[in-house]
Structure 1
Amino acid sequence: MKKENSVTLKARERPGRLTRARAAAALRTSGQQNQNQLSRVNSKTTVSDTSCLQRKKRAVLQEVTNVYCENAYKGCFNSTKIQAKKRKLAKAGQISVSKVSPSVSVEPLQFEVDSKAKETALQSQDTVCSINLENNQLLPLAAIDCCKDFRLPESQISGISAHPLMSQNKDKKDNLSKLLTALKDPGITNIDDYLEDSQSCSLYAADIYDNLRVAELARRPYPNFMEMVQRDITESMRGILVDWLVEVSEEYTLFTDTLYLTVYLIDCFLSKNYIERQRLQLLGITCMLIASKYEEINAPRIEDFCFITDNTYTKAEVLKMESQVLKSSEYQLFAPTIQTFLRRFLRAAQASDKDPSLELEHLANYLAELTLMDYGFLNFLPSIIAASAVFLARWTLDQSNHPWNPTLQHYACYKASDLKTTVLALQDLQLNTEGCRLTSVRTKYRQDKFKCVAALSSPKLLETLF
């Protein structure tokens, strides 16, 4: 132990290194000479450690933005001076260093650069910034431009504004001017007048529904998949499945949007994939499971859907079918349904009313849900079915006024003549002229909470209405 604690320096130790053993040995010795020797050792240690830290210093980061600029800072900075300056400023509280790399739009820290370095940076034309353009080319820029606020030339700008806030304000003004121009007609009531309510999206509602009208064309299922794709199931089997799913949605108190999305996913899968009748119910509960995950706050579990089929299908079979449905839809679950347009059209229908009519809303929802079980209504777009449901509901409740006013025509973008075929087919469902035995929707809307609208019947439609 004494040999190990010897003060003699070993070959591995640096000269002047102070260890615990050496300090203990120095304290045990008496006299001021040993204390002076210890102080000299400490001073040597400080110098050597400082030199060691000097050797461990790394060069300052030259570029930490998301844009790579070659030679942008070449020969412009002295790393030692910059580090010292940053330490002084940090102590004074004048600078804050971020741990996250700034984006292109954030200006980097400004350093003092001599005039010669600035001239060198401006004259370097070989600097390249790797910005992905539409033509996948690299845009040559000056080094000083890469470090400042980035601006594309006018020829390279394709619908991208250099000032996002200014462009947003301009879009708001344009939308507002278009809205006010369209509403100059005194017969049209503005249903998007909640300009101060940001949740209503008043300035963007028209654009949103314009995009939904395009999406319903692109995302609709094939209306003739029973004849072209399916060979083992029929239209009546599909109707029985949807009728049963209405009961399931009532059992688990699911949203109406969940039911519509479920039927949409079923039709989309049947449009692209052949299925046997033994697996049709499995497809139904799987699509409702997916729709519940998308729409519901507390979605039912897989075991719940297996239980409601009397455990005909296992959890593993449901998970396997879920994977097939998601792959078939390419994981694009959203699509505008009848319910999506029905909300806006009902609002337009009651724009001039002082108090909203719950009976009108329930009746329109009832008529719209009747179409889910009828395979023939796949030939109509969801928006035109929603408009026809509002048309027939207004006619059922009030025959003294025309069911289609200028406000509805403006927001639905359909004339009364465009709705004639759909309204007539919808009235046949309402009056049950073909003796349909699927009664889940009718039973649902005979309840008092829905104002018993299923018991109402509409009078004969006049030709003058169209």
Structure 2
Amino acid sequence: MSTENVAFEVEECSVRITRARAKELSESGGILCSSKSSGVQMPILRANSKRMASDDIKICSISSNGLPIKRRAVLKDVTNISTKGSDRNCGNASNVRGAKPTRRVSAKAKANAPLNVSAGAEEDANTRLAEDLSKVRVVESQEVSSRETSDKKERTVQAMCPNSRDCGVSDITLSVSSDESVPQPNEKNMSPEQSAASKDRGIINIDSDSKCLQSCSIYAPDIYDRIRVAELDQRTSTNYMEQLQQDITEKMRGILVDWIVEVTEEYKLVPDTLYLTVNIIDRFLSQNHMEKKRLQLLGVASMLIASKYEEICAPRVEDFCFITDNTYTKGEVVEMESEVLNQLHFRLSVPTTKTFLRRFIQSAHASYKVPCTELEFLANYLAELSLVEYSFLKFLPSLIAASAVFLARWTLDQSDHPWNPTLEHYTCYNASELKTVVLALQDLQLNTSGSSLNAIREKYKQPKFKCVAKLTSTRSVLSLF
């Protein structure tokens, strides 16, 4: 083939050459021109093609004697090769292929790069990194301490002024050092002037050094303030016998309560169960007419509810049926229990006389160097005597508890007045306000009416209660008012 024919065929290679066309040219002795000389766009060769590059395309060049020389295409890693034309058509190849090519190139670069970093330089870098981390930890610890200091200041403001939002205390900046003591919430939110004034009046802070965790000394003032409001909201009707009940009387109610006291002693139930049982009975009778034959059923169901609420291990329904000599079946007790709960709307967290009695006895013990157990038993005895009497429903539970402490102190010690500023502060009653209830309790203590309901008296004649039921005052309490 002459040189002119070769040049002619090179000039005609301006069209796209397919594989079939290339095969025809190779069989007929034609020449497949290069893309550089003819401007033909060569197909992009990929490494994962099923055929070898030598089978797909044969690139020819002209030797000195005019014969074509066949060469195999050498494929390299072209996944990261980008030209201006390829960027416009298919975008960045590395983004299409993923991060693998980048990792491959970086690995090659690391393998070919000279190692210029010495061991000493690495140690210096690690030292600088450790110093930076320590600085970061110091900054974080300073931020945490600053946040704790700000929280302590905010708690101090709230302790000094509960209505800080109303009085604008949020705009005041307080400087509280780490050595200064923050006022505790158990100081009844008193200012220093008020605290000093209370000490001058002889009021002892009963919550300052309380070691009993169950007394909740930190929150006790707020708790009992809330309970004082609740006893007014959930008060029992004081005249339901006259207005609603027609088949039962006050004496029947007293007999039922006296029997419940015996049952609580038999099953060793806590005093809170006894007080809550009587409260449930009175609240139910304040809203529903009750027949005489179902009165004991109401007492059993009320005791079952109170036991479930107050006791750790409440007696079973069968036990309550047994104590009634199987007068009522299990189904009747459960049905009555459901009726009582629905009538009371499941409101069982009610303040009773026992709720206030714990707080007031603690206040009475503040003036003693050693706690007096007889005072506690005697106050509980007098308070339980009021459960049997229907006439005591007209008095608030807190008033009955304060009067029981008053009379108990007078019974044990008649050489001094039983009321003091500490008791007046924590009970919120002065001596003159207790006069009516104290006189009524003394009549129960002396049994001036000759009542035959002796379950409570027999209970507190036992040695485990110091036989406080046998104690009586030799002087009349009327002289104190």
Which interval holds the TM-score relative to the shorter structure?
Answer: 0.5 to 0.7
Q: Please, which of 151, 159, 169 is the counterpart of residue 172 of structure 1?
A: 159
Give the helix-richer structure, 1 or 2.
2
Quickly say closer, same or farther: Cα 1:242–1:164, change in 2 above 3 A.
Answer: farther
Report the counterpart of residue 393 of structure 2 in structure 1: 378
Question: Once the 2 structures are TM-superposed, how far is the Cα of residue 170 of structure 1 from its aligned partner?
Answer: 3.8
Quickly say closer, same or farther: Cα 1:455–1:195, change in 2 above 3 A.
Answer: closer
Q: Please, which of 338, 346, 359 is the counterpart of residue 344 of structure 1?
A: 359
Contact 2:403 2:434 in 1 (8 A): yes
* 1:11-34 C-alpha deviation (Å, 9 max, x unpaired): xxxxxxxxxxxxxxxxxxxxxxxx
Q: Greater shift after overlay, 203-212 or 273-282?
A: 203-212
Question: Once the 2 structures are TM-superposed, how far is the Cα of residue 201 of structure 1 from its aligned partner?
Answer: 2.9
Which whole-Å CA distance do the structure 1 matches of 2:262 and 2:191 have between them? Answer: 42
User: Which residue type is aligned with residue 286 of structure 1?
Assistant: A
Q: Please, which of 230, 247, 254 is the counterpart of residue 215 of structure 1?
A: 230
* 1:231-290 C-alpha deviation (Å, 9 max, x unpaired): 000000000000000000000000000000000000000000111010000000100000
* 1:76-100 C-alpha deviation (Å, 9 max, x unpaired): xxxxx9xx9xxxxxxxxxxxxxxxx
Q: Please, which of 211, 218, 226 is the counterpart of residue 241 of structure 2?
A: 226
Report the counterpart of residue 379 of structure 2 in structure 1: 364
Contact 2:382 2:404 in 1 (8 A): yes
* 1:213-234 C-alpha deviation (Å, 9 max, x unpaired): 1111111110100001110000
Map 1:292-441 → 2, pairs under 5 A: 292-441=307-456
* 1:306-332 C-alpha deviation (Å, 9 max, x unpaired): 000000001111111111110111111
Quickly say closer, same or farther: Cα 1:196–1:446, change in 2 above 3 A.
Answer: closer
Quickly say closer, same or farther: Cα 1:438–1:199, change in 2 above 3 A.
Answer: closer
Contact 2:258 2:454 in 1 (8 A): yes
Question: Once the 2 structures are TM-superposed, how far is the Cα of residue 465 of structure 1 from its aligned partner?
Answer: 1.4
Contact 1:194 1:200 in 2 (8 A): no
Report the counterpart of residue 291 of structure 1 in structure 2: 306
Which whole-Å CA distance do the structure 2 matches of 1:198 and 1:247 have between them? Answer: 31
Contact 2:201 2:421 in 1 (8 A): no
SS in 2 for 1:178: coil
Quickly say closer, same or farther: Cα 1:297–1:464, change in 2 above 3 A.
Answer: same
Question: Once the 2 structures are TM-superposed, how far is the Cα of residue 206 of structure 1 from its aligned partner?
Answer: 1.3
Map 1:219-298 → 2, pairs under 5 A: 219-298=234-313
Map 1:42-191 → 2, pairs under 5 A: 170-174=157-161, 175=185, 176=187, 177-178=189-190, 181-182=194-195, 183-191=198-206
Identity of aligned residues (%): 62
Task: Report the count of equivalent residues.
Answer: 308
Quickly say closer, same or farther: Cα 1:199–1:436, change in 2 above 3 A.
Answer: closer
Which whole-Å CA distance do the structure 1 matches of 2:406 and 2:355 have between them? Answer: 16
Which whole-Å CA distance do the structure 1 matches of 2:154 and 2:351 have between them? Answer: 28
Question: Once the 2 structures are TM-superposed, how far is the Cα of residue 382 of structure 1 from its aligned partner?
Answer: 0.4
Question: Once the 2 structures are TM-superposed, how far is the Cα of residue 443 of structure 1 from its aligned partner?
Answer: 0.3
Which whole-Å CA distance do the structure 2 matches of 1:167 and 1:321 have between them? Answer: 52
Contact 1:338 1:385 in 2 (8 A): yes
Q: Please, which of 448, 451, 458 is the counterpart of residue 473 of structure 2?
A: 458
Contact 1:341 1:382 in 2 (8 A): yes
Superposed CA RMSD: 2.3
Which whole-Å CA distance do the structure 1 matches of 2:267 and 2:211 have between them? Answer: 37
Which whole-Å CA distance do the structure 1 matches of 2:437 and 2:191 have between them? Answer: 29
User: Which residue type is aligned with residue 159 of structure 2?
Assistant: K
User: Which residue type is aligned with residue 226 of structure 1?
Assistant: M
Contact 2:439 2:477 in 1 (8 A): no
Question: Once the 2 structures are TM-superposed, how far is the Cα of residue 205 of structure 1 from its aligned partner?
Answer: 1.3
User: Which residue type is aligned with residue 381 of structure 1?
Assistant: L
Which whole-Å CA distance do the structure 2 matches of 1:187 and 1:287 have between them? Answer: 43
Quickly say closer, same or farther: Cα 1:434–1:310, change in 2 above 3 A.
Answer: same
Quickly say closer, same or farther: Cα 1:197–1:259, change in 2 above 3 A.
Answer: closer
User: Which residue type is aligned with residue 394 of structure 1?
Assistant: R
Question: Once the 2 structures are TM-superposed, how far is the Cα of residue 166 of structure 1 from its aligned partner?
Answer: 7.2
SS in 2 for 1:372: helix
Which whole-Å CA distance do the structure 2 matches of 1:299 and 1:251 have between them? Answer: 13
Which whole-Å CA distance do the structure 1 matches of 2:270 and 2:477 have between them? Answer: 35
Which whole-Å CA distance do the structure 1 matches of 2:211 and 2:260 have between them? Answer: 40
SS in 2 for 1:356: coil
Contact 2:160 2:191 in 1 (8 A): no
Question: Once the 2 structures are TM-superposed, how far is the Cα of residue 187 of structure 1 from its aligned partner?
Answer: 1.0
User: Which residue type is aligned with residue 344 of structure 1?
Assistant: R
Which whole-Å CA distance do the structure 1 matches of 2:298 and 2:304 have between them? Answer: 10
Which whole-Å CA distance do the structure 1 matches of 2:311 and 2:158 have between them? Answer: 33
Q: Greater shift after overlay, 252-261 or 208-217?
A: 208-217
* 1:46-87 C-alpha deviation (Å, 9 max, x unpaired): xxxxxxxxxxxxxxxxxxxxxxxxxxxxxxxxxxx9xx9xxx
Which whole-Å CA distance do the structure 2 matches of 1:255 and 1:268 have between them? Answer: 21
Question: Once the 2 structures are TM-superposed, how far is the Cα of residue 458 of structure 1 from its aligned partner?
Answer: 1.6
Which whole-Å CA distance do the structure 1 matches of 2:155 and 2:411 have between them? Answer: 44
Question: Once the 2 structures are TM-superposed, how far is the Cα of residue 173 of structure 1 from its aligned partner?
Answer: 4.2
User: Which residue type is aligned with residue 171 of structure 1?
Assistant: Q
Question: Once the 2 structures are TM-superposed, how far is the Cα of residue 463 of structure 1 from its aligned partner?
Answer: 4.2
Q: Any stretches of 5+ residues in structure 2 without a counterpart? A: 1-48, 51-94, 99-149, 162-184
Contact 2:439 2:478 in 1 (8 A): no
SS in 2 for 1:361: helix
Report the counterpart of residue 126 of structure 1 in structure 2: none
User: Which residue type is aligned with residue 387 of structure 1?
Assistant: A
Quickly say closer, same or farther: Cα 1:198–1:437, change in 2 above 3 A.
Answer: closer
Which whole-Å CA distance do the structure 2 matches of 1:359 and 1:315 have between them? Answer: 41
Report the counterpart of residue 194 of structure 1 in structure 2: 209
Contact 2:361 2:405 in 1 (8 A): yes
Q: Any stretches of 5+ residues in structure 1 without a counterpart? A: 1-38, 41-80, 85-162
Report the counterpart of residue 173 of structure 2 in structure 1: none
Contact 1:368 1:389 in 2 (8 A): yes
SS in 1 for 2:232: helix
